[in-house]
């Protein structure tokens, strides 16, 4: 068995850079967020709301369950008995949810009773459907009696028996795409480590294919998400205000390394340079430090500086990795699929289909790609078509001709080789010959070209966002961050996003070169 070649330092560095950027995009909510990761304490606002609304909802549910026999029979004859059951089920679910919420903040005895009643309420609709209205009413009456006793005005509010409960605000606010990214990255890393131990393959090829394929799959899901982040752009987050005003009396707080949201503005800190540079602009700043934030004189308060609205540039850079990397990988995947489909059709079919595909390729190549993208994005409505998805569609629609022409030429070359001729002489179906014999030998150059296309798509997305036609504010992307200031005194604003764009594009190109060296037989090293 041949021993694998030694891993080139540039390839290892490129793979690590790309995986680090993907990790920053995946775990951006855990790295930069105005919400704490963990908070243990009493959320008085939530508990008071549940305590205030729970009796009213329980009374409404009791009134529904106490419907007279005549009304119940009339609804049944009219065919609306099911609607009554559904209404009871919906209302019972709301009452059970509020009782569970209240149970997290009250004394143990009441918490156990509320939990038991909430479990019994889940069977309320089934009991009502079977005609057992008295059994359905029993947990509601017990709940109302217990809540009424606990809400007695004569009861001393100071001895209400509140207790601290644990909350995970960052995870509570995470969307499905956030969970997918946070769970997909460890899986990709484990697959990469497992593939690294395969002795028969080259380490360069393993890292290149794994980093490009797995990172791309983990990030493509975000590109088709309607909103990569929430639309909050308030000056202060709700959680920081809750800590400051005492609505949440915390005993344990665990904040993210950067306690700033991607859109949390602070006008008093506009255009601050990186905090590790002691400047007079930041020295005389007088500002209230909110819970979780670094001190004003800390070197880690704003490690990469702030923009014109006082938003932390490091936080926006981490969240912007989601937009830039997801759009770049998704656009590369789209143009690769289009190029493979059209190139395979033109190379295998021949005749008028080949002529028509070539004319289409030539027509698209004759149109300046950047100007076509600018025209399409300028006239697209951001309300009807998400800008990130529009960028993906535009880049994918204009970037496929090179891959299609390359695959067409490779298919025509492989079709004339002896083993494909033998397959056709043996009577195999043309589609089987194409999929089993031609494409596996024609795709390696296309895979290499697709890896280079990822870097090109990243640069194209950055250029479009820089011109204001890509991802729109308040969402962050590297190109849009670089365009927020064009003045020399604000050098840190375009510098750090530019470094991120350069690192991602260079890593993709280096990995593409490693794939080319591995897959091109003319470049393989011949062993002794």
Determine which of 171-180, 211-220, 365-374, 424-433 has the lowest per-residue pLDDT on average. 211-220
Map residue 304 onto helix, strand or coil.
coil
pLDDT at 270 over 50: yes
Q: What is the mean pLDDT of residues 99-106?
A: 69
Contact of 303 with 275, CB cutoff 8 Å: yes
Specify the pLDDT at position 75: 55
Can you read off the two tokens belonging to residue 362?
A: 């030539």
Question: Do residues 481 and 504 touch, judged by C-beta distance below 8 A?
Answer: no
Q: What is the pLDDT of residue 366?
A: 83
Rg of the chain over all Cα atoms, to the nearest angstrom: 30
Of 146, 165, 184, which residue constitutes the final position of a domain? 165
Note whether 13 and 46 are same-domain residues.
no
Residue 60 placed within a domain: yes
Please tell me the number of Cα atoms within 13 Å of 446 on its side-chain side: 28
Whether the predicted pLDDT of 301 surpasses 80: yes
Among candidate residues 226, 316, 216, the one with its CA nearest the CA of residue 266: 316
What pLDDT does residue 281 have? 55
User: What band does 415 get if pLDDT is binned at 50, 70 and 90?
Assistant: confident
Is there a single domain that holds both residue 386 and residue 516? yes
Residues in CB range of 304: below 8 A, 6 or more apart: 274, 312, 313, 314, 317, 492, 496
> 305 pLDDT exceeds 80?
yes
Q: Strands, DSSP E only, in 164-277?
A: 165-167, 248-254
Asked which of 118, 137, 165 is the last residue of a domain, the reply is 165
Angstrom CA distances, 467 to 54, 119, 335, stand at 52, 56, 22
Average pLDDT over residues 218-224: 47
The model scores a pTM over 0.85: no
Residue 160, Cβ neighbours under 10 Å: how many? Answer: 15
3-state secondary structure of 490: helix
In a domain, 78, yes or no: yes
pLDDT, residue 430, reads 80
pLDDT at position 66 is 64
pLDDT-based confidence at residue 60 (cuts at 50, 70, 90): low
Q: Cα 146 to the chain's mean position, in Å?
A: 43
Same domain, yes or no: 111 and 217: no
Contact between residue 242 and residue 236 where contact means Cβ atoms under 8 Å apart: no
CA–CA gap between residue 485 and residue 131 (Å, rounded): 69
Mean predicted lDDT score pLDDT of the chain: 76
* pLDDT for the residue 520: 60
Is residue 224 scored above 60 in pLDDT?
A: no
Higher pLDDT, residue 311 or 348: 311
Q: Are 204 and 514 in contact (CB under 8 A)?
A: yes
Within a domain: 276: no
Q: Would you state the pLDDT for residue 32? A: 92
- Give the integer Cα–Cα distance in Å for 107 and 128: 32
Q: What is the pLDDT of residues 365-378, one digit of tens each?
A: 887 777 878 887 87
163-177, 272-286, 479-493, range with greatest mean pLDDT: 479-493
Question: pLDDT-derived band of residue 7, with 50, 70 and 90 as boundaries?
Answer: low
Alpha-carbon span 43 to 105, nearest angstrom: 8
| Number of domains the chain is built from | 2
Where do we find the tokens 């009493």? 42
pLDDT at 236 over 60: no
Residues 185 and 70 in one domain: no
Q: Tell me if 303 is assigned to some domain.
A: no
Verify that 33 and 44 share a domain, yes or no.
no
φ, ψ of residue 173 to 5 degrees: the values are: -90, -5
Answer yes or no: do 27 and 51 share one domain: no
Find how far residue 153's CA is from the centre of its chain: 48
> Of 165, 190, 219, at which residue does a domain stop?
165
Please tell me the predicted confidence (pLDDT) of residue 30: 92
Query: Which domain covers residue 380, as residue numbers?
Result: 1-37+174-233+320-528
Same domain flag for 437 and 363: yes
Query: How many helices and strands in the chain, by DSSP H and E?
Result: 23, 3
Q: Is the pLDDT of residue 302 over 50?
A: yes
Tell me the percentage of the chain whose pLDDT exceeds 90: 9
Phi and psi at residue 8, in whole multiples of 5°?
-70, 140
């Amino acid at each position: 068995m041949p021993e694998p070649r030694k891993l080139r330092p540039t390839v290892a560095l490129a793979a690590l850079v790309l995986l680090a950027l993907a990790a920053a995009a995946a775990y951006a909510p855990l790295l930069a967020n105005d919400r704490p990761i963990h908070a243990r304490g009493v959320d008085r606002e939530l508990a008071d709301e549940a305590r205030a609304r729970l009796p009213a909802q329980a009374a409404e549910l009791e009134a529904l369950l106490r419907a007279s026999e005549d009304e119940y029979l009339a609804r049944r004859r009219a065919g609306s008995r099911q609607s009554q059951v559904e209404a009871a089920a919906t209302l019972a679910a709301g009452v059970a949810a509020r009782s569970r919420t209240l149970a997290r903040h009250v004394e143990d005895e009441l918490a156990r009773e509320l939990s038991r009643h909430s479990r019994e309420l889940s069977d309320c609709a089934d009991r009502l459907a079977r005609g057992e209205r008295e059994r359905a009413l029993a947990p509601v009456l017990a709940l109302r009696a217990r809540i009424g006793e606990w809400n007695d005005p004569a009861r001393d509010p100071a001895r209400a028996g509140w207790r601290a409960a644990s909350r995970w605000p960052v995870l509570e606010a995470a969307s499905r795409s956030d969970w997918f990214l946070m769970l997909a990255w460890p899986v990709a890393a484990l697959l990469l480590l497992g593939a690294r131990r395969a002795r028969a393959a080259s380490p360069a090829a393993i890292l290149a294919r794994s980093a490009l394929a797995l990172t791309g799959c983990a990030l493509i899901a975000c590109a088709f998400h309607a909103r990569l982040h929430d639309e909050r752009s308030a000056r202060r987050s709700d959680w920081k205000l809750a800590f400051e005003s005492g609505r949440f009396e915390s005993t344990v707080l665990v904040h993210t390394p950067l306690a700033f949201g991607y859109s949390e503005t602070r006008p008093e800190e506009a255009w601050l340079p990186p905090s590790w540079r002691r400047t007079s602009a930041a020295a005389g700043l007088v500002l209230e430090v909110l819970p979780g934030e670094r001190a004003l004189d800390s070197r880690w308060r704003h490690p990469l500086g702030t923009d014109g609205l006082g938003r932390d540039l490091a936080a926006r850079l981490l969240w912007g990795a989601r937009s830039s990397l997801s759009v770049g990988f998704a656009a590369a995947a789209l143009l690769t699929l289009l190029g493979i489909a059209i190139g395979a059709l033109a190379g295998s079919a021949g005749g008028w289909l080949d002529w028509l595909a070539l004319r289409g390729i030539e027509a698209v190549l004759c149109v300046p790609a950047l100007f076509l993208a600018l025209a399409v994005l300028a006239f697209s409505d951001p309300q009807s078509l998400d800008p990130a998805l529009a960028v993906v569609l535009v880049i994918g629609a204009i970037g496929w001709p090179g891959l299609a022409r390359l695959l067409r030429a490779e298919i025509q070359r492989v079709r004339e080789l002896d083993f494909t001729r033998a397959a056709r002489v043996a009577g195999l179906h043309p589609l089987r010959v194409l999929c089993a014999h031609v494409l596996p030998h024609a795709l390696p150059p296309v895979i290499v070209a697709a890896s280079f296309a990822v870097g090109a798509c990243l640069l194209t997305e950055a250029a479009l966002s820089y011109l204001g036609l890509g991802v729109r504010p308040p969402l962050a992307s590297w190109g849009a961050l670089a365009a927020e200031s064009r003045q020399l005194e604000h050098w840190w604003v375009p510098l750090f996003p530019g470094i991120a764009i350069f690192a991602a594009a260079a890593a993709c190109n280096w990995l593409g070169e490693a794939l080319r060296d591995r897959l091109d037989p003319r470049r393989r090293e011949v062993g002794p």
